[in-house]
Amino acid sequence: MTKCQIVDGAEAVRCSCEVDELFRLLADARRRRVVAALQRAETDRIDIETLHRRLAEDGETDDAADYRLDLHHVIVPMLVDAGVADYDDRRGTVHYANCELVSRLLELAE
């Protein structure tokens, strides 16, 4: 399998992700919108409720309650599993690790 390195803010390799896993992650429009919102965030950490609110303000959510549940129980865990994010359950924050390949794939999907 092909791997893509994910680096942290100090340009140190944080982990490697499987390219096939990234394709699976970005195959869904809702997940692409979440990743795009994380990339647009001012910092690499964002409160999950703030993330949900921003998606709603942008008209990116369908049913707000269902979307919030998917965000907590499906989308963010998939980001974590793919290695592009960490979730701090205690603080309720998502830490997004920029991956150049994810950015390029999102550009191509648009």
- Domains of the chain by residue range: 3-109
CA pair distance 103, 110, nearest whole angstrom: 11
Q: Is the pLDDT of residue 79 over 80?
A: yes
Average pLDDT rounded to a whole number, residues 66-92: 89
What CATH fold (topology level) applies to the domain 3-109?
Arc Repressor Mutant, subunit A (1.10.10)
pLDDT at 42 over 70: yes
Whole-angstrom distance, CA of residue 93 vs CA of residue 85: 10
Q: In this predicted model, which residue has the larger pLDDT, 14 or 63?
A: 63
Residue 47's nearest CA partner among 88, 1, 10, 108 is: 88
